[in-house]
Structure 1
Amino acid sequence: MEPAPPSSPATRPRNRRQLIIDAAGRVFNERGYHAASMEEIALEVGITAPALYRHFPNKYTLFAECATFMADGLVEALDELPPEATLDELFLAASRVTIAHRASGGVYRWEARYLNPDDRRVLRGKFGQVVDRVTDAVTAEEGDLDPALRAAAALGAIGSITMHRTRISAQRAEKLLVGAASRVVATERPRAVASASVEVPSPPVVRIRRAEILAAAIPLFERDGFANVSLGRIAEAVGLAPSAIYRHYPGKVDILAAACLQAAGLLSQSVEQALRGCADPHAAVAALAETYVAYSFEHRSLTSVAEAELVGLPAALQRPLVLAQRDHIALWEQQLRAAQPDLNARDARVLVHAGFGVVVEAGRRLRWQDSPDARRSVAALLLSALGWRD
């Protein structure tokens, strides 16, 4: 019997660099930039750490490419379309890129604050190109809301698919996201929806040192990122010695946990207050939209920290917050399906997240400058994404 021929060496995939970017995006998305390691990313790809370093000299270089990858894909996909492409064609192209890289595409939304200023400007410029292309198409459509606001909101609906894990086929997701984006750009200036008088609960009045420390930490976490803020800086903001912080919080992560719990508590109170007295699901959906927008404007720093930094909490501290998030989504899903019985649970969940994506991107477009008109407009855009009709 002849000996078997020696096995051929493993062939290096031609798309190894792309595999690394996709894997790194997933890890950064799930763990956050600072918690992720090159060794963890290498393991996700199925290569050694030295092999990973042959492609990327350090974690930041890899992170910067991950953060801009989605923007590059969107710019390329829209550039391939002819100038006369319809909005639906633009939205379909954007949806396909976003869905294809769903597991890694969310890095740009929250983790991009860890980019250096030059890379951040480049990223903003690339997304600006995408928004401008869509804005040009929206301008040709009817509607009295600012075209750039409607374009940003529509792209927020599409981008929302990267921010949750609802299992859904790519084809179905495309249909839902393109439909939501199309409804968003058709939104008219609101009349009867989103009353500016909606009030949401406020954080406790700062009377004790523990609350003072939390109130000082939240804007620092929002501006610079949790990992970049030291206990010393928080202590300086409240006029304490760093060692004095430990009398109130065991560590910095406990301050972050307190911020996330406060955000969850205020949102829960807001929703409970909004639904009190709502007689039918149609009215309940409108009330939820009004309240969510009011909450987002009123507590922008707090919600930004809670959304962006949740992955930085230990599992034991994350769990109650994740459960609270699920309960919140489930409530929206329940009311939306009651108002639109043709929706199944997964479709409703995708649309709810699309509505949240609308609020994030529309709010950013408005620079979160709060006014009754801003709240009404963003609530109307959110309701359009859901398919709600006045």
Structure 2
Amino acid sequence: MTDPHGPVPASARPAVSVDPTTATRPRNRRQLIVEAAGRVFSERGYHRASMEEIAACVGITAAALYRHFPNKYALFAECADVMADRLVAALDDVPAGAPPADLLAAVTRVTVAHRSSGGVYRWEARYLKPEDRRRLAVKFGRLVGRVDEAVQRESPLPDDRLRAVAALGAVGSITMHHTSIAQRRAEELLLASALDVAATDPATAPGAARPVRLPAQPVPRTRRAEILAAAIPLFARDGFASVTNGQIAEAVGLAPSALYRHYPGKVDILAAACLQAAGLLAQGVEQTLQGVSGPREAVVALAATYVAYSFEHTELNSVAEAELAGLPAELRRPLVLAQREHIAVWEQQLRLVRPDLDPRQARVLVHAGFGVAVEAGRRLRWRDGGDRRDAVTALVVGALGL
């Protein structure tokens, strides 16, 4: 879940005015371009980002930018590669046989240092071409393998790399929100969270106070609801920008022009999907927290609810997470408020259990829990089952330091 708190994104701030005819060309200009592009892609998404915007962030013209990269896709692919290469290089510098703490500390330093540009791969990697996606997967596979080797050496469990993936998810979560926190404190929090995840036995579920019962996704009984239900899996599979009105209309047996009788535009369908996601999660939290006796039970119940929601509504959740930034401000506003309310519930209960945390620290750990749920769920390919939900819930609770 993307945190709405934080400073104005770099891409929204005016660039420093630079006269390209008089400015001294820095030797690391290509690196500066990749850094700026990573920030813009992370904040705005691949399709909404423009070469002109990226060039302005570097203080050069778009024509100068094209001298370094032939098109936006080439720049995007390099951004994804650069972050993976940084992480792999950081682990290569750690001696063989080092404990998990040393490996995860190296990963955490790199991730926090490049927080604003490091989130490109989380959702936007689906826009990479298959060969580029495979190459990136190999690099991250090396990263996971090295961490898993150390984790298994310290506490062997037959978890099929689940703890290693989840620990890296806790660290990577810092790239997905804007909570303002000092770099060193962020590193300390995330490293502790990742180590707690690595030390958690996924087979030891924390045990929620009562079974999680989420509201079902509404059965489409109107044409408007049918359009929404058809669009969600298309958005999840191909990304909002890649899906056409024609594809949505075809899925419900309508002419493309007929969609406008139900939604003013495609972006309104996306907004409806995000609102549905927020509503289902809020209802699930409300039901699950009824009758919970204390803050620790409440935190465990929140973790179990979020995991259950992620497994039951995987496509809907992925659309809401990945595409929120692409909504116009007026459509995004109610969703941002819903997110803030959801995170505030977690934050309040977590701080009752852990009074050592201030609000920002608690918020960072809550997002670490979300990161664990996403990456562990992906590792399990979102194949549902009580034992899988319990395993992921145990790892999320571990990320919170309980």
Query: Which SS does the other structure have where 1:140 is aligned?
Result: helix
**Per-residue Cα deviation, 1:70-106 (whole angstroms, up to 9, x for no partner):** 1111011101111111111101100011011100111
Check conservation: 1:138, 1:147, Cα contact below 8 A. no
Residue of structure 1 in register with 2:330 after alignment: 316
Residue of structure 2 in register with 1:226 after alignment: 240
Match of 1:100 among 113, 123, 143: 113
Match of 2:353 among 333, 336, 339: 339
Residue of structure 2 in register with 1:5 after alignment: none
Which structure's CA Rg is the greater one? 1
Q: 2-side partners of 1:321 and 1:187: how far apart?
A: 33
- Offset at 1:147? 5.0
Q: 1-side partners of 2:86 and 2:205: how far apart?
A: 38
Among the aligned pairs, what percent are the same residue? 69
Match of 2:291 among 253, 274, 277: 277
Q: 1-side partners of 2:33 and 2:207: how far apart?
A: 46
TM-score where L is the length of structure 1: 0.95
Match of 1:122 among 123, 135, 140: 135
Q: Quick one: structure 1 residues 374 and 170, their matched pair in 2 at CA, closer, same or farther if it must change by over 3 Å?
A: same
Q: 2-side partners of 1:31 and 1:376: how far apart?
A: 34
Q: 1-side partners of 2:170 and 2:235: how far apart?
A: 26
Write the letter of the residue equivalent to 1:49.
A
Residue of structure 1 in register with 2:69 after alignment: 56
What pairs with 1:22-37 in structure 2 (closer than 5 Å)? 22-37=35-50
Q: Stretches of 4+ moved more than 4 A in 1? A: none
**Per-residue Cα deviation, 1:238-297 (whole angstroms, up to 9, x for no partner):** 111111111111111110000000001111111111111112111110110110100010
Q: 2-side partners of 1:196 and 1:285: how far apart?
A: 13
Q: 2-side partners of 1:191 and 1:38: how far apart?
A: 48
Write the letter of the residue equivalent to 1:204.
P
Residue of structure 2 in register with 1:42 after alignment: 55
Residue of structure 2 in register with 1:178 after alignment: 191
Residue of structure 1 in register with 2:342 after alignment: 328
Residue of structure 1 in register with 2:10 after alignment: none
Check conservation: 2:307, 2:389, Cα contact below 8 A. yes
Match of 2:222 among 191, 201, 208: 208
What pairs with 1:288-303 in structure 2 (closer than 5 Å)? 288-303=302-317
Q: Quick one: structure 1 residues 338 and 91, their matched pair in 2 at CA, closer, same or farther if it must change by over 3 Å?
A: same
- Offset at 1:330? 1.2
Residue of structure 2 in register with 1:13 after alignment: 26
Residue of structure 1 in register with 2:363 after alignment: 349
Match of 1:187 among 179, 200, 215: 200
Q: Quick one: structure 1 residues 14 and 330, their matched pair in 2 at CA, closer, same or farther if it must change by over 3 Å?
A: same
How large is the RMSD of aligned CA atoms in angstroms? 1.4
TM-score where L is the length of structure 2: 0.92
Q: 2-side partners of 1:335 and 1:280: how far apart?
A: 9
Match of 2:394 among 353, 365, 380: 380
Q: 2-side partners of 1:196 and 1:65: how far apart?
A: 47
- Offset at 1:22? 0.9
**Per-residue Cα deviation, 1:213-244 (whole angstroms, up to 9, x for no partner):** 11110000000011110010011111111111
**Per-residue Cα deviation, 1:351-387 (whole angstroms, up to 9, x for no partner):** 0000000000000100000010000000000000001
Write the letter of the residue equivalent to 2:64.
A
Query: Which SS does the other structure have where 2:60 is aligned?
Result: coil
Q: 2-side partners of 1:328 and 1:45: how far apart?
A: 36
Query: Which SS does the other structure have where 2:217 is aligned?
Result: coil
Residue of structure 1 in register with 2:181 after alignment: 168
**2:276 matches 1:262:** yes
Check conservation: 1:139, 1:147, Cα contact below 8 A. no
Q: 2-side partners of 1:140 and 1:242: how far apart?
A: 57
Check conservation: 1:195, 1:290, Cα contact below 8 A. no
- Offset at 1:144? 3.5
Check conservation: 1:143, 1:187, Cα contact below 8 A. no
Matched residues, number: 381
Match of 2:99 among 82, 86, 109: 86
Q: Quick one: structure 1 residues 213 and 254, their matched pair in 2 at CA, closer, same or farther if it must change by over 3 Å?
A: same
Q: 1-side partners of 2:295 and 2:395: how far apart?
A: 19
